[in-house]
Chains A and B, each alone.
Chain A
Amino acid sequence: MIRRGAIVAFLIAVAALQLASLAIPGNTAAADPPARLQFDAEQRDDGAWMLRATLTRAGAVQSQETIQFLQQVDFFGQRWVPLGTAVTDSAGVASRLYSPTSNGAQRLIARHAGEEGTFASDPLDITVSGAAPAVPGEPPVLPVVRAWAFPVGAAILFLVWLFLAVILLRAVIGIARPTPMQATSSAPSQDAALDSSPQRNSSTE
């Protein structure tokens, strides 16, 4: 009888210890949920989105932890582009305003680098409309510009190249063409001219 009671008491004690261990912060026993990021977003009236990520560890909220928000993009390959960071408050919530710059479906995540390593929230899909582009849109080319810019530019370019050719050919051909004076002049005339150069002085500074 006593033996049976002892076994029951032992089993109860073990069960109690198991239950008690769940309440100890930081304990990552198998039954404990690990650190977790819960991510949601809410669109405001002005079109911007308030991103909120709540960080818990073993069920307890975590403050003063940095959360990074990212958006999945597929230009230059599919990857995650950082949107910015925020620090969790006393309620474990990191919130950040996000002003989308393009419309349509977007997939966002929140990410945290903590003692467990880097882990992310579940992806959150949002649909954006009325986004303000990051840079002003480029207006369509005015018809008059479209009609005249290319021909005028091409004509100017042609004239420049023509003028360059005339300048070069006029000099080279004009110089190379023998003239009566050239027949009588030769290299010594260069030297005579060179030797008649006036005196120079050497003052510098």
Chain B
Amino acid sequence: MVATAADPGGAIALRSAAFRPVQAPGRWFWPLFAALGAVVVLAAVAYGYQLLAGLWVAGYNDAAFYGIYEANLVAFIGVSYGGALVSAVLRLTNARWRAPITRMAEAMALVSLVVGGSFAIIHLGRPERIWQLITRPQAASPIVWDVIAISTYLAATLIFLYLPLIPDLAIARDRLGPSASRLRRAFYRLAAASWSGTPEQRQRLNWSVGAIAVLIIPLAITVHSVLAWAFSMTSRPGWHSTIFGPYFVIGALYSGVALVIVVVAAFRKAYRLEPYIGLPHFVSLARIMAVLGAVYLYFTFSEMLTTGYVRTREEASIVAVLLEGSFAPAFWGFLVGGILIPIVLSLVPAARKVRYLVLAATLAVAGMWLKRLLITLPTATAPLIGDVWGTVQFTWVAIVVTLGATAAIPLGLMIIFRFVPILALDEMMETDSRDEREPAFERSLGTRSPP
């Protein structure tokens, strides 16, 4: 129980929990920070070597022109959209159990977008020419669309994270006092934007948060569709598909919700947030994940059925390598391990424990990364001259850069939560006070948070 005689409402405990990463992150924090930082630095060194030596050190060659970096680009940006959309949809549907997890989902959206967006540069053979995308853009090029879409979405994600933070930053400004450094206090003072919680301020903030939540949904869908169109606007077999836009969006949502589960579970454990984030949060998220997984399964079936049934000359070889050729183990592994098992674990009552749901989410994230490789590699290695397939090599450079990007997500979140509360304090208080006013309504919904 969080409530005590001295803190009957549990408010002090809640504030203490929300500011735990800011004030007392724990003994494990710096060793883990150093370890993750070392992996990121190693990845930067590997990328530096790639810059000097050329893309071939990452396993690229003339017969395998796309590889692990493009899969990373889609996967990391995908989870970002998923995190933002989950938070936005839960806000708009007024799902009251959302409050303890929205901050983590929004921060995850921002960090994974930055990491994923960096692969748009990492996968370039001549990254020093990227400025020409701005100075000499080709409006018909999907790559230009991608750059515009990702930068627009980055701005929206920043605003989406920042606006609900304002009241909490004001709490930090007012409560942390001299315990915070001067720089930190200046940051809170500036970022809190003179928030004092007046009805006018709250009204304006609520309007803006609602508006950005509305805007970010079509924006995320559009932006991930644009990313899909970078593939499907080519006439390459395996990529030239009319359903790639929604297919990518659903995949992004599925993997994004899965990563939210993993992130929430990790930070809940690390910062002892169990009193605020309970099993019902995970069960609700897992149900959403299962539904999205089922929809993704349907899209995959539809895609394979239509291309495999007609078997045009161009598509037949792609379908064959996926279903029974060299990519078949990965494809069936993704289908079983990345979709079916997570769905079963998410829905079976016997598996309704946090660790099983986290396992399901981890499998879903890993499976969806594999799926992005399966979207990228078969087409990229399919022969255009003769019938000799290209070979992709997973070199140490590509693997280290990928591991570095993966490590950058928890590292980025740890850095963000060193400065801002990990729980949406203001939102949780507002939700609780509303719950008190509408107990019958809440009971009827069964969504009171936490259980």
> Does A76 touch B at the CB level, under 8 Å?
yes
> Does A115 touch B at the CB level, under 8 Å?
no
- Taking A84-B386, A185-B196 as known contacts, 12 extra A-B pairs with beta carbons closer than 8 A to each other, sorted by chain A number, are A71-B386, A81-B63, A83-B387, A84-B387, A135-B236, A137-B235, A150-B139, A178-B194, A187-B174, A197-B14, A200-B276, A203-B450
Q: Digitize B1-39: 1 where CB-to-A-CB distance is under 8 Å, 0 elsewhere.
A: 111000011111111000000000000000000000000
Interface stretch of the complex, out of B293-301, B411-419, B429-437: B429-437
> Does A39 touch B at the CB level, under 8 Å?
no
> Does B311 touch A at the CB level, under 8 Å?
no
Interface stretch of the complex, out of A27-35, A57-65, A167-175: A167-175
Q: Digitize B288-323: 1 where CB-to-A-CB distance is under 8 Å, 0 elsewhere.
A: 000000000000000000000000001000000000
Interface stretch of the complex, out of A2-10, A17-25, A119-127, A155-163: A155-163
**Smallest distance from the beta carbon of B159 to chain A beta carbons, Å?**
5
Residues of A within 8 A of B148 (CB): 157
CB-contacts of A131-173 with B (<8 A):
134-138, 141, 149-150, 153, 157, 160-161, 163-164, 167-168, 170-172
The answer to whether B384 and A101 touch across the interface, beta carbons within 8 angstroms, is: yes
CB-contacts of B161-179 with A (<8 A):
162-163, 166-167, 170-171, 173-175
Q: Is the interface of B mostly helix, strand, loop or mixed?
A: helix
**Smallest distance from the beta carbon of B331 to chain A beta carbons, Å?**
22
Residues of A within 8 A of B287 (CB): none
Residues of A within 8 A of B275 (CB): 200-202, 204
* Central interface residue in A136, A161, A185, A202, by most chain B CB within 10 Å: A202
The answer to whether A197 and B10 touch across the interface, beta carbons within 8 angstroms, is: yes
Contact A69:B386 (CB < 8 A) given known A157-B148, A164-B215, A202-B274: yes
**Smallest distance from the beta carbon of B214 to chain A beta carbons, Å?**
10
> Does A181 touch B at the CB level, under 8 Å?
yes
Footprint of A on B, CB under 8 Å?
A: 1-3, 8-15, 62-63, 139-140, 148, 152, 155-156, 159, 162-163, 166-167, 170-171, 173-175, 193-201, 204-205, 207-209, 211-212, 215, 219, 235-237, 240, 274-279, 314, 353-354, 383-388, 425, 428-429, 432-433, 435-436, 450-451
Residues of A within 8 A of B276 (CB): 200
CA distance A54 to B233 in the complex (A): 44
The answer to whether B384 and A198 touch across the interface, beta carbons within 8 angstroms, is: no
> Does A90 touch B at the CB level, under 8 Å?
no
Query: Can you name the residue of chain B whose Cβ is closest to the Cβ of A174?
Result: B204
The answer to whether A195 and B11 touch across the interface, beta carbons within 8 angstroms, is: yes
Chosen A-B contacts, 10 in total, with CB atoms closer than 8 Å, are: A141-B140, A167-B215, A171-B193, A174-B201, A175-B166, A175-B194, A179-B201, A189-B197, A194-B14, A197-B432
Q: Digitize A80-122: 1 where CB-to-B-CB distance is under 8 Å, 0 elsewhere.
A: 0111100000000000001001000000000000000000000
List the 8 shortest-distance A-B pairs measured between CB atoms, nearest first.
A83-B386, A187-B174, A174-B204, A171-B208, A202-B275, A197-B11, A199-B3, A134-B384
Contact A168:B159 (CB < 8 A) given known A134-B314, A191-B174, A200-B3: yes
> Does A16 touch B at the CB level, under 8 Å?
no
Contact A194:B171 (CB < 8 A) given known A135-B237, A171-B205: yes
CA distance A150 to B236 in the complex (A): 24
**Smallest distance from the beta carbon of B156 to chain A beta carbons, Å?**
6
CA distance A197 to B2 in the complex (A): 12
Residues of B within 8 A of A182 (CB): 194, 196, 198, 200-201
The answer to whether A200 and B450 touch across the interface, beta carbons within 8 angstroms, is: yes
> Does A78 touch B at the CB level, under 8 Å?
no
CB < 8 Å neighbour of B428 from A135, A138, A197: A197
The answer to whether B11 and A196 touch across the interface, beta carbons within 8 angstroms, is: yes
Residues of B within 8 A of A198 (CB): 9-10, 432-433, 435-436
The answer to whether B1 and A201 touch across the interface, beta carbons within 8 angstroms, is: yes
CB < 8 Å neighbour of B2 from A161, A191, A194, A200: A200
Query: Can you name the residue of chain B whose Cβ is closest to the Cβ of A79?
Result: B62
Query: Can you name the residue of chain A whose Cβ is closest to the Cβ of B353?
Result: A205
Query: Can you name the residue of chain B whose Cβ is closest to the Cβ of A172?
Result: B193
The answer to whether B9 and A168 touch across the interface, beta carbons within 8 angstroms, is: no
CB < 8 Å neighbour of A201 from B156, B432, B450: B450
* Central interface residue in A137, A189, A200, by most chain B CB within 10 Å: A200
Query: Can you name the residue of chain A whose Cβ is closest to the Cβ of B425?
Result: A194
**Smallest distance from the beta carbon of B334 to chain A beta carbons, Å?**
25
**Smallest distance from the beta carbon of A6 to chain B beta carbons, Å?**
63
**Smallest distance from the beta carbon of B317 to chain A beta carbons, Å?**
10
The answer to whether A202 and B235 touch across the interface, beta carbons within 8 angstroms, is: no
Residues of A within 8 A of B63 (CB): 81
Contact A167:B212 (CB < 8 A) given known A84-B387, A137-B235: yes
Residues of A within 8 A of B200 (CB): 174, 179, 181-182
The answer to whether A135 and B215 touch across the interface, beta carbons within 8 angstroms, is: no
CB < 8 Å neighbour of A195 from B12, B139, B199: B12
CA distance A27 to B12 in the complex (A): 95
The answer to whether A175 and B195 touch across the interface, beta carbons within 8 angstroms, is: yes
CA distance A148 to B204 in the complex (A): 37
CA distance A76 to B159 in the complex (A): 44
Residues of A within 8 A of B159 (CB): 164, 167-168
The answer to whether A160 and B171 touch across the interface, beta carbons within 8 angstroms, is: no
CA distance A170 to B159 in the complex (A): 12
> Does A1 touch B at the CB level, under 8 Å?
no
CB < 8 Å neighbour of A199 from B10, B156, B274: B10
